[in-house]
Amino acid sequence: MAQADPILYFHSMKPMNVLLVNPPIFDFTAYDFWLRPYGMLRVAAKIRHCSRLSFFDFLASKRRDVWGRGRFPSLECPKPEPLRDIPRRFHRFGKPRGDFREFLSSNTFDAVLIQTYMTYWYPGIREVIEDIRGLQPAAKIILGGVYPTLCPLHAQSLGADLAVEGSKLEPLWNLLSIEPQAGDPFWPRTGSDVGVIKITDGCPFRCTYCASPLLWPGFSKRPTAECVKELIYLMDGGARNIAFYDDALLFHSDKVLVPFLESVIEAEAPVKFHTPNAVNARFMTEELARLMVKAGFASFFFGLESATESWQRSTGGKVSSDEFSHAVHCVQRAKAEAIFAYIIVGHPDLEGQELELAIRFAHRCGTKAMLSEFSPVPGTVDGQKSERWADLDEPLSHNKTAFAVRRLGVNRLNSLKTLTHSLNSKIS
- DSSP per-residue codes, 312-346: HHHTT----HHHHHHHHHHHHHTT-SEEEEEEEES
> How many C-beta neighbours within 10 Å does residue 220 have?
9
What is the chain's alpha carbon radius of gyration, rounded to the nearest angstrom? 21
pLDDT digit string, tens, across residues 321-376: 999 999 999 999 999 999 999 999 999 998 889 999 999 999 999 999 999 999 99
The string over 144-174, giving b where at least 16 C-beta atoms fall within 10 Å of a residue's C-beta and e elsewhere, is bbbbbbbbeebbeebebbbbbbbeebeebee
Half-sphere exposure of 124 (CA within 13 A, CB side): 28
Q: Convert the pLDDT of each residue in 113-147 to its tens digit.
A: 999 999 999 999 999 999 999 999 999 999 999 99
Model confidence pLDDT, tens digit, residues 143-189? 999 999 999 999 999 999 999 999 899 999 999 999 998 765 677 66
Q: Tell me the residue type at 423.
A: L
Residue 5 — very low, low, confident or very high, per pLDDT cuts 50/70/90? low
Dump pLDDT digits (tens) for 34-89.
999 999 999 999 998 899 999 999 998 888 899 999 999 999 999 999 999 999 99
Q: What CATH code is assigned to 194-424?
A: 3.20.20.70
What confidence score (pLDDT) does residue 192 get? 78
Q: How far apart are CA 123 and CA 58, in angstroms?
A: 14
**Which runs of E-coded beta strand occur in 171-221?**
194-197, 200-202, 219-221
Are domains 5-176 and 194-424 of this chain identical in fold?
A: no
- Domain residue spans of the chain: 5-176, 194-424
Q: Please give the C-alpha separations between residue 236 and each of 27, 44, 396, in angstroms, as whole numbers.
A: 34, 19, 39
Query: Is the domain defined by 5-176 classed in CATH 3.40.50.280?
Result: yes
